[in-house]
Amino acid sequence: MNAAERFDQYLDHLSEGLGHADRHAGLRGYCTGLMLPLSRKSVEPMAARVDPTHASARHQSLHHFVAKAEWSDTQMLRRVCQWVMPRMDFSQGGWWIIDDTGFPKKGRHSVGVTRQYCGMLGKQDNCQVAVSISLASKQGSLPVAWQLYLPEDWAADAERRTKAGVPDEVRFATKTQIALQQLRTLLDEGAPRHCVLADAGYGVDNAFRQALSDMGLLYAVGVTSAVVVWPPGVQPLPPKPYSGMGRPPVMPRRTVALQPMSVKALAQSLPSRAFQNISWREGTNDALNGRFAAVRVRHAGGNTGKARLRPEQWLLIEWPASDAEPSKYFLSTLPEDTPINELVDIAHQRWRIERDYQDLKQDFGLGHYEGRGWRGFHHHAALSIAAYGFLMAERLVADKSVGGKKNFIERQVPALPEDYIPRGSPARAASRADVNHDTAPSTELPADRSSRSVPLLRKGKRKTSLVTQ
């Protein structure tokens, strides 16, 4: 079976969650367009390449499919996961990776746009931010949950909500609250209880870490240097004896000589022999390695953290020999007998979600959606992930069979008609001079298959979950 036939099977699998057979052509056209080497993967240029002789009609149909049609982006992501997950090897471990990513936007009408920190720009600016969870193994990772962060000013603005089509049930939630709800939903659907990885933007929140433990999930998350812990071998005095009146005391007692310390101060107090050089994976040109120390501590800071004596956990410290102070800190509930090299390896698996974002934005047009609505934003992201998922599944199979060549499917791209004038060009009224045209490297899939017949949707609905055969 060649790649085109496997792609047909993949689309048939995804189509079962669309609800209507007349949406199958939209799925095929949109996913094909996202996999073409276009500088801009918004609806119009994709339509012009997928069906150049009927560009205007295809533009209208693709726009309706992504922005208006009532299919579930959540179910689409579940079906992508069902296809890719069996091809992933979890024998060396699996992880849930939590993060968020930003999309610079001008104006104030696109859903969720406000002035906030944008990681893509490295500063505060007008942007949209989405929270995602990726399922990862040593061979690769795949986003399986995706939701736009709706800022408080948007959540409270009934007029803007209505214009952007924000569902009534969506209320303001912090990024950590969104991530926790995504995890709970995944677990309720039968997802495996892998270790959770996140950067300090999430890990510094004690309530977030406690919620992970309450769900029965291990974690290895970044924290800031200001997080306060009880150092190894030191813990506070027990709470005051109960007097028989009111609630029994639960707060551990401190004394002048018995105080917790910041993780930065703890790291600086460790002898040099506590640190060792550890390599965790092969980079592009050489093995990645660093200088690390790992100690057992108890969290002690914050209003919730000091109310009770917390269980022991790992504090992993990364301190490059050339730096004046540590560069990264991680807290982890991995077992006490976990070797330090395994701690380091697991903590650094989080980089995979950064690769997800990079590939999705550069190769699959994740940030190229030009609509303003809630539904279109989530549909476009789900379809970008669907296109990414197919190429990832192909790569996983190729890695096993031929050692992992990246460009393993050849593709032909249909040419544009000579008289075609794209909307926004100098021959049209609206200018696109401010659009950032990121060059997308060639991706591998035939695009000249839009005329093929589309099989009808099977009768009956099937409940979608993450459990695979």
Tens-digit pLDDT profile for residues 138-178 = 989 999 999 999 999 999 999 999 999 999 999 999 999 99
Residue 342 to residue 325: CA distance in whole angstroms? 23
Q: Are 66 and 373 in contact (CB under 8 A)?
A: no
Mean pLDDT, the chain, as a whole number? 84
Q: Look at residue 404 and tell me whether its pLDDT is greater than 60.
A: no
Pairing of strands 228-230, 261-262: antiparallel
| Model pLDDT, residue 242 | 77
CA dihedral 110, 114, 115, 117 (to 10 degrees): -90
- 358-381 pLDDT, tens digit each: 999 999 999 999 999 999 999 999
The model's confidence at residue 465, banded by pLDDT at 50, 70 and 90, is low
Residue 273 backbone dihedrals phi, psi, to 5 degrees: -70, -15
| Model pLDDT, residue 387 | 96
| Model pLDDT, residue 285 | 62
Token pair 């004596």 is found at 309
The SS3 assignment for 333 reads coil
Q: Are 252 and 235 in contact (CB under 8 A)?
A: yes
The SS3 assignment for 63 reads helix
Helix 175-188 / helix 206-214 crossing angle, nearest 10 deg: 10
The total of other beta-carbon atoms located within 10 Å of residue 263's CB is 26
Query: Is 461 or 359 the better-scoring residue by pLDDT?
Result: 359
pTM attached to this predicted model:
0.83
- Most confident region among 36-40, 264-268, 404-408, 451-455 by mean pLDDT: 264-268
